[in-house]
Amino acid sequence: MTQSQTRREQSSQAPEQPALLPPVDVIEDAEGITVYADLPGVPKERLDVHIDGEVLVIEGEMGLEMPQQMEAMHVEVSLPRYRRVFTLSRELDPERMSAELKQGVLKVRIHKAEHAKPRRIEVSG
């Protein structure tokens, strides 16, 4: 997954509604990748993480409700939605994916397919 693939995917699949682009970190190791996405204010019930073909989609809606009879005097975040789309490498196994949301940070783990994992070759002789 590269930044150019991410940008290309996001521009080719524009969301129905405007959305914020959450910052992410993508970390790769020998076993797979881990995506960390900052989604402050998004409760688990309003979070959608799914794979569509070779595309990972992260969507969430903030759950910050204004108490009755109160009005915001200043609002810096005007869009209540987040959306981020990534094209996945064929080395990854979308069947072996997990997601966890803690304190506004989404952690998505996708394991590499067995054929893509590094392996040691025994040398004889």
Residue 105's DSSP bridge partners are: 38, 102
Q: Count up the domains in the chain and report the number.
A: 1
Euclidean distance between CA atoms 125 and 121, whole angstroms: 13
pLDDT in tens, 22-34: 999 999 998 999 9
Q: Enter the tokens of residue 7.
A: 């940008």
DSSP state of 16: S
The model's pTM is 0.74
Q: Is residue 83 part of a domain?
A: yes
| CATH number of the domain enclosing 78 | 2.60.40.790
DSSP state of 121: P
Q: Is residue 125 part of a domain?
A: no
Q: Is residue 124 part of a domain?
A: no
pLDDT of residue 40 exceeding 70, the answer is yes
Single-letter code of the amino acid located at 17: Q
Tell me which residue range forms the domain holding 72. Answer: 3-116
Euclidean distance between CA atoms 78 and 62, whole angstroms: 11
pLDDT in tens, 67-89: 888 887 777 777 789 999 999 99
Q: Is residue 40 part of a domain?
A: yes
Q: Enter the tokens of residue 31.
A: 């076993």
Average pLDDT, the chain: 85
